[in-house]
Amino acid sequence: MDIYGVIGWPIKHSLSPAMHNAAFRRLGIDAEYRRFEVKPEGLKDFFHGRNGIRDSKGDSVYIADLAGLNVTVPHKEKVLDFIELDQESFYLRRIKAVNTLVMKDGVWKGFNTDIPGFSRHLKELGFEPEGKKIALLGAGGASRAVSYVLANNKARQISIFDIDKNKALGIAHMLRELFDDFPVKVVDTIDELDIDSKDALINATPVGLKKEDPCLVDEQVIHKELFVYDLIYNPGETKLLSLAKAAGARYSNGLGMLLYQGALAFSHWTNKEAPIQVMKKALLEALYN
């Protein structure tokens, strides 16, 4: 049996096993998808084969046992140190974030399915970035994919806040390099995002995963014309989305992005078309049951 999985820290919230295992069952593939907790300080030893990692069953699994991986917070950037990118993946070398790994010819190949996954979900929601001013919370690997999609779809301007300003500056440099001096602003505080003048607010931080997490923005800045997107999908309605709902704004969690990036990852691993409706049903059942 082939073993696939997702590595991250934390990882217990991930719904990826539900959709991938449903897809494997539907297509009759002898495989299983599991969650693997990998602390930041353990990433190097894991990829060098020195340490095994515990899955949700308590089994110890080594890197050599795996056929494919998804990568989530906080490893989407650091994992680049341990993989290869195809020659044609020139843009990934600039984006510097991957979320899907495939074992090919004895080496790990990296892909970013977050980019087309986020793009497809935005289109499904009817949000067009072109000409829009956007506030972006967070500057990690997911934010790199999100900002790429926004700039590539001709957003008017992006303002970014992250507690690590250097990470935000790194995204600004990436966007200016890829999109001919794209108008991006890095701010020192959330207030400076000037959310009440923006067309969209996107949360690409993990703040909101826990019930005790605060909401990063004040409710006064959430206005009716704002589109609010939270990449967090579990819980299905974060405090940020609750504010958007109360304000009468359009909003969405990241479940659609998870679905579409997952379907593309599945195809990378299996060379088969992913059963998207089966995966979607499994996600919804896992989230709301």
Catalytic residue among 76, 109, 132, 239: 76
Residue 109 and residue 74 in contact, taking contact as beta carbons nearer than 8 Å: no
CA distance 72 to 283: 17
Active-site annotation holds for 76: yes
CA distance 81 to 71: 13
Minimal CA–CA distance to 150: which of 268, 245, 142? 142
CA distance 55 to 266: 20
Residue 60 and residue 53 in contact, taking contact as beta carbons nearer than 8 Å: yes
CA distance 158 to 45: 37
Query: 115: how many CB neighbours lie within 10 A of its CB?
Result: 22
Peptide bond preceding 214 in cis form (omega within 30 of 0) = no
Sign of the dihedral defined by the CA atoms of residues 144, 148, 151, 155, in that order: negative
CA distance 259 to 288: 15
As annotated, the active-site residues are 76
